[in-house]
Every structure is written in structure tokens, then in C-alpha cells.
Amino acid sequence: MELLDMSVEELGASMAELQRIQPGGAPRNARREENLKAWLSAALGNQDTCIEGFEATDGRIRNSITGSLRQVGSEFPTWIGEEERGLVRMEPGMMHVDAVVAQDGSGRYRTIMAAVEEAPDHGERRYVIYVKRGVYRENVELKKKKSNIMMVGEGMGLTVVSSGRNFLQGWTTYRTATFAVSGRGFIARDMTFRNTAGPGNRQAVALRVDSDRSAFFRCSIEGYQGHPLRPLPPPITITAQGRKDPNQATGFSIQKCFVYATVPTYLGRPWKPYSRTVFMQTYMSGMVQPEGWLEWAGNFGLNTLYYGEYTNYGPGAGTGGRVRWAGYHVIRDARMAAMFTVRRFIDGGSWLPSTGVIFTAGLTK
């Protein structure tokens, strides 16, 4: 019901945006068309997540709702104000803080969830929650009504939200998240989100984000599901992106990062037939396997996916031994690579500057 409720809102926003498109208004229309693609893609993603949540059940409820959910398919034809600028760079002692969380009792709240629950619903101004250092062993969920919240910790590894929910305990993958955000306009800074369930417990999510236009700055997301830093049973993959329709504006773009794998590791595998992932200008250690990418189930998705690599470097970045799938590409044209930058892929120039988050808009030399 929660996922479908989010889809209703996304479809409603899409209809409203569609009505704003005007003949001859090319620049504005382009931005509105990108909004449409993002919201409709999210609605389709919610549909998949909902259906997959019934995988471990007897199927009766799933069968009764699947027909209705199949009708959600579609063809695709400054979120915060000036006062928020600089918040990400500002020290907590210098910014206006609405709520303080501290395990030692020096704040108003001892748990993060208690502070979230008392935050305003449907907030239009930025509401800042300062979380002092400590390991907060709780599951935190910011529902859709908790909008425009910023959470500030004292640093990665110092302010930690930790839990061990996992699939084998009876939770759906969606509900295993240690930290979950559905409210729009969320910003997090200087925090760690951690799921401690081991790989034997199957799905175990550290961070789940359903929020439109969220940003994470100096944050660490740690889990053990397919983690390439531990001596786990192979195969280990970094990504498993799920795009089921070629019109969905979804995918993973990993740019200017470091893949420090210490055990044999693959860059990705196709969770859905149109899986889309690119690695650009990224360092790869020698444990990234020569093939680079891994099958999910035989030939599934190998001709319809889009996997790409552009000017990566390091001992594991060579493309000579990479897979020969029809959907795999060594990107040589900078114009094609630019399609997956912050500026083009998530329209970052229209909303990230107002958050104060430091980012690279395009390709670097």
C-alpha cells in the first residue's frame, strides 16, 4: 500500500506536469519532459518492488493484485530556496538546528526515529536534525510526509545508524533497510548507514531512497550483501541495476570513484532485462576480473542491457578481456559519456547547487 501510494503521487505529479507543457516552449518543455520520465520511471519501479515483495509467500495475494498492477505501465512522452545554500559546508554550531539527537541525553532525543517522528509533516522549509556521534542501533524510516529534512552527523564512522534486518528473518527486501527515505528533498551529511547482516542472510539493505531529489554528502553506506572487501563466497558484484523497460530514465552512473576490491569482483550483473550501468573515470584494483561483468541467468538481458566503461584506470580497468555481449560498450566518444554525467543524467545543475553539495557536473580531464 505504501509503494502504491507513492506511485499515485508520482502519477499525479506527472499529469500536472503534462498539462504545463506548451507548444513552442522548447526549453521549459525539455525540463518538464525530464520530470515526467523520472516520475513515471519511479512509478514503474514501485510496481516491480511491490510484486517482488511476495516472492517468499504462497502466492495467493500476489496473484490477486498482479493483474491490477500490470495496468500501471506507461509510455514516456528550485526544489529548495536560497536559505539552504551553504548548509552542507556549514559547521553544526553555526547553523540553525531544529532538533538534536544524542545517546548521552545532551540532546532532546536519544534516538533518531524519535526526532523524525516529531519533525513537521509536509514541511516546506528545511528542518535540520543534528545527530551527535554514536552508534544508533535502530531502523529509521522517513515516510513520504517527512519532506525537506536535513540530517547532519559528526562524520563517517562517528555518527552511525546500524541494524541487521535481513530477508531470512522474514522481512521483504524493501523492509530490510536500516535507513529508508521517502520524503522529498532529503539531505544527509557526515553519517554512516550500515546493515550488519552477513551474506548468508541474503538480502540486507543499508540505505533505501525513494525520495525525489535527495543528496548524500560525505556519507558511508556499508553492507555485506555482495561486499567486495570481505572473503565471501563468489561471485561478488558491485551493482545489480534493475530497469525493466527501455524508456525508464533509471540507471547507475559511477564517476570519479575508486573500486578497491580485495577479492575477485565484477562490476555488475543484469537484474532486469534493460539494466543500465556505466563506470567512468574510475580507478579499479587488480581484483576486478578481466571479464568485468557477470551474467545473471544464462543469456538473460545480455543483448538488451547497456553496460559501459569510459577512460577508467588502474590494474583492473583494461577492457581487452571484457565480455563480448551486444549490450556492453567501451565508450570512446566523450559526447556519449557526457550523457551519464551529473549534468545530463540527473539534471543536477537545476537542483544540486542550492544544496551546497560539492559535485562535478560533467567529465574531467
How far from 263 is each of 44, 192, 230, CA to CA, in Å? 35, 23, 7
**How many whole angstroms separate alpha carbon 215 and alpha carbon 219?**
10
Q: Which of 27-36, 192-201, 236-245, 289-298 has the lowest mean pLDDT?
A: 27-36
Which has more confidence, 183 or 67?
A: 183
Q: Do the beta carbons of residue 126 and residue 147 sit within 8 Å?
A: no
Q: Do the beta carbons of residue 314 and residue 283 sit within 8 Å?
A: yes
User: Exposed, middle or buried: residue 51 (CB in 10 Å: 0-12, 13-18, 19+)?
Assistant: middle
Kindly indicate the confidence band of residue 250, based on its pLDDT and cuts at 50, 70 and 90: confident
Kindly indicate the confidence band of residue 360, based on its pLDDT and cuts at 50, 70 and 90: confident
Answer yes or no: pTM beyond 0.85.
no
Q: Is the pLDDT of residue 77 over 60?
A: no
Which H or E run contains 28? helix 26-52
What are the phi and psi torsion angles at 345 (to 5°)?
A: -75, -40
**How many whole angstroms separate alpha carbon 92 and alpha carbon 142?**
21
Stretch 332-354: mean pLDDT, rounded?
89
Which has more confidence, 54 or 207?
A: 207
pLDDT (0 to 100) of residue 135: 96
Q: Do the beta carbons of residue 147 and residue 184 sit within 8 Å?
A: yes
pLDDT (0 to 100) of residue 79: 40
pLDDT (0 to 100) of residue 230: 55
- Nearest alpha-carbon partner for 347 in 29, 38, 14, 23: 38
Kindly indicate the confidence band of residue 27, based on its pLDDT and cuts at 50, 70 and 90: low
Q: Do the beta carbons of residue 292 and residue 319 sit within 8 Å?
A: yes
Task: Read off the C-alpha cell for 139.
Answer: 531502523
* pLDDT tens per residue, range 264-273: 999 999 989 9
